[in-house]
Amino acid sequence: MSLPKVDVLIPTLNEAGHIEQAVRNALFVGPVFVLDSCSTDGTQELARRAGATVVEHRFEGYSRQKNWGLDNLPFTGEWVFILDADERITPALREEMFRELSRPDAADGYFVNRLMIILGTAVRHGGLYPSWNLRLFKRGRARYEDRSVHEHMVCDGPTRYLKDEMLHIRRETMSMYIAKHIRYADLESDEWVKRKLGTSQGADTARLFRDVLRVRQWLRREMWPIIPGRPVWRFLYMYFVRFGFLDGRAGWRLAMLMASYEYMISLLYRDKLDRLRSSFRPAG
């Protein structure tokens, strides 16, 4: 019996340090399509050399870029798996994936759990694990919500959860990691402003998640922005409530980093609201 055909989409921007390994890993699943946002470090040629089909498209934002790829890349398989350049599909996940897709009652979408590896440590605490993302889906049945950052997929049909993990291997320098979170904080503060103004386009969490995940994401999107003292609560939650200390040095640094991230979001949010208010204030 032939295996279900799965196309792999890898969105990239200056991922020369990751892309060859990512493509070779993904080729064990199916044809690989790299959607590149006009990289300047040679990502495109490295991806082609590793065996991927490369299409360049000017970056439009995380969700819109990937949705453009879903609409325009020359996929031929019935299924699509979306993979970041610093993620790897384990052999166990690959086997479970094809076993699940071969079932006559296969779902339309599948959530995959990511295990982060940072500072040489597999992080299984601090609220960062499990990390469920809908990454495998029947072509045409799922799209990303219109959100600036931390976007999730909306699937039109039934979904299930795969048991085996994929790896999220963070190899960038700490300065690069911090710079990335400054950018994410800026984008997240934009979403908070949209929520304040009632113009947010993010999907209803009831369409994105179910069970405990639905409650967690509702709290994150609707209640968390209005809670005072978020940086302190984030640190206490990650390091003590969710046992981040069990991850050693990595657990401490991640808890401190995410507390700083919350503080950056708050600063940027307040600054943007103040600027909006001043722009509407009568002159004189």
Q: Are 265 and 189 in contact (CB under 8 A)?
A: yes
Q: Are 51 and 29 in contact (CB under 8 A)?
A: no
pTM for this entry: 0.89
| Rounded Cα–Cα distance for residues 52 and 283 (Å) | 57
Within 10 angstroms of residue 27's Cβ, the number of other Cβ atoms is 14
Cα dist from 240 to 118, 243, 244, 258, whole Å: 19, 5, 6, 14
Range of lowest pLDDT (18-22, 96-100, 273-277): 273-277
What domains appear along the chain, each with residue ranges and CATH number? 6-169 (3.90.550.10), 174-280 (no CATH)
Q: Are 162 and 111 in contact (CB under 8 A)?
A: yes
Q: Kindly report the average pLDDT of the chain as a whole number.
A: 92
Within 10 angstroms of residue 126's Cβ, the number of other Cβ atoms is 24
pLDDT category, 65, cuts 50, 70, 90? Answer: very high
Is 51 a residue whose pLDDT tops 90?
yes
| Rounded Cα–Cα distance for residues 22 and 30 (Å) | 12
b/e sequence 225-260, b meaning 16+ C-beta within 10 Å = beeeebbeebbebbbeebebeebeebbbbbbbbbbb
Give the residue with greater pLDDT, 202 vs 256: 256
| Rounded Cα–Cα distance for residues 164 and 166 (Å) | 7
pLDDT category, 122, cuts 50, 70, 90? Answer: very high
pLDDT category, 150, cuts 50, 70, 90? Answer: confident
Is 104 a residue whose pLDDT tops 90?
yes
**What is the pLDDT averaged over residues 199-208?**
61
pLDDT in tens, 29-47: 999 999 999 999 999 999 9
pLDDT in tens, 173-191: 899 999 999 999 999 999 9
Within 10 angstroms of residue 66's Cβ, the number of other Cβ atoms is 19
pLDDT in tens, 215-255: 666 676 677 777 889 999 999 999 999 999 999 999 999 99
What is the 3-state secondary structure of 39-92?
A: CCCCHHHHHHHHCCEEEECCCCCHHHHHHHHHHHCCCCCCEEEECCCCEEECHH
pLDDT category, 206, cuts 50, 70, 90? Answer: low
| Rounded Cα–Cα distance for residues 110 and 107 (Å) | 7
